[in-house]
Amino acid sequence: MASNIGIDHDNLNNNMIAHTLLGIVRCNPSYEIKYIMENMKEKYGYEIMYSKAWRSLRRAVEIVYGTWESSVQLLPKYMRALEKYNPGSICWGSGSAPRQGSGRTKNIAGRRSIRKTTIQ
């Protein structure tokens, strides 16, 4: 059977492989690349490169859990809800006014786009 195994078919692109991995990623987002390569060889009879398996796993994780960018965009909404429903919670960068304190300010993570908070 090993003689029938080819190397990397054109239709085995990252998206196609990612969609075959969705169920696995939901159960185990840290699924190992070598197992992806073995699964593709067993399922489709083609060997894929490590880089293609890695990109496919990354794409499957993005499909299931979203991108970093979309997660970061949701943070302000989450922090406002956290402050609203958990009184006393302190969330920096959520759009709320800085708390009164000693008057010193600290730029969180050194980025201009993040609100300065007052150090107490």
User: Tens digits of per-residue pLDDT, 42-73?
Assistant: 998 888 999 999 999 999 999 999 988 888 88
pLDDT at residue 116 is higher than 70: no
Confidence of residue 93 (pLDDT cuts 50, 70, 90): low
- Residue 49 structure tokens: 């490169």
Token readout for 19 is: 């969609």
Give how far the C-alpha of residue 98 lies from the chain's centroid of Cα atoms, to the nearest Å. Answer: 30
* CA gap 65, 71 in Å, rounded: 9
What is the crossing angle of helices 50-65 and 14-27, to 10°? 60
pLDDT at residue 33 above 90? yes
- Per DSSP, 110 falls in state G
- Report residue 24's pLDDT band, with 50, 70 and 90 as the boundaries: very high
Q: For Cα atoms 24, 26, 32, give the angle at the middle one, nearest 5 degrees.
A: 45
Instruction: Over range 9-31, report the average pLDDT.
Output: 88
More confident site: 52 or 10: 52
> Over 70: is that where the pLDDT of 94 sits?
no
pLDDT at 27: 93
CA distance 99 to 59: 40
Residues in the chain: 120
pLDDT at 79: 87
What DSSP character marks residue 117? Answer: E
Q: Is 19's pLDDT higher than 90?
A: yes
Give me the mean pLDDT over the 17-27 stretch: 93
